[in-house]
Amino acid sequence: MRVIRSLCIAFSTYSRIPVPQVEWSEENRKYSMCFFPLIGAIIGLLLWGWLWLCDALSIGPVLRGAVGALLPILVTGGIHMDGFMDTSDALASWQTKERRLEILKDTHVGAFAVIGCVGYMLLMAGALSETSAHAGFMLAVCFVVSRSLSAWTLAAFPSARPNGMLDSFARAAHKRLVTVSSGVYLLLCAAVWLIFGGWLGLACLCLTVTWTQYYHHMSIKYFGGVTGDLAGWFVQTAELLLIAVIVFGGAL
């Protein structure tokens, strides 16, 4: 039952998928991050299904890209996009680490957050408008990879805010099990990329390693560690970059 409660907490926190409500205790949150990548799997399968429907009904590129870009937002409720927007504001401020952390907590939306969100959605919609269900399996994996890495960095990277939401999950999480489960997810995803994508899958793996390293460097340098908002920024940017590599690399 503890595992089921952890699953429910993961889905109720990081998605809008209806699940039974359970007590928000450290014991129940212990394994929740192990199930975080499953939300990505659901998003990926929905996107694959949408692309298949577009191919079957000859739906044009504008609607194909627009709905495809909105699907992750609809499933997650925009929790990761909120972190992306807050981080965009903080990075654009060029302030001290302390001031950047204050900007992350600010409930107001700044100009750079809006610009970043609009630009992101346009790029995502544009990339997905250029693809089809043929690449759907490789695209679906991107959403699992981003969340697997996000869960792993929770256990591996230092926290910038001792009393923040991400640190709360880190204290409750069984870090060794989170690391092992994330590794299993990533190995399965890497196998899918290499089997179905060949050199394109290898390019995705190289980008995954490089971007995770940059995330560590950026979070430490500008914020002193990771936060929930930075984790959202990482999920969003990793997905966009990986999808861009698959879509445009596949056109070569």
DSSP state letters, 190-247: HHHHHHHHTHHHHHHHHHHHHHHHHHHHHHHHHHSSB-HHHHHHHHHHHHHHHHHHHH
Cβ neighbours around 242 below 10 Å, total: 24
Q: Are 163 and 104 in contact (CB under 8 A)?
A: no
pLDDT reported for residue 203: 95
In the chain, alpha helices (H): 2-14, 26-29, 36-57, 61-76, 79-93, 97-105, 111-128, 136-156, 165-172, 175-197, 199-223, 228-250
What are the boundaries of each domain within the chain?
A: 2-250
Instruction: Tell me the two tokens of residue 236.
Output: 């969003």
Report the C-alpha gap between 101 and 183 in whole angstroms.
Answer: 30
Q: What is the pTM of this model?
A: 0.91
Q: Are 139 and 243 in contact (CB under 8 A)?
A: yes
Q: Are 136 and 51 in contact (CB under 8 A)?
A: yes
Mean pLDDT in each 10-residue stretch from start to end of the chain (252 residues)? 78 86 70 87 96 95 96 94 91 83 79 92 96 90 95 84 57 70 92 90 95 94 89 96 92 70
Q: Are 252 and 203 in contact (CB under 8 A)?
A: no
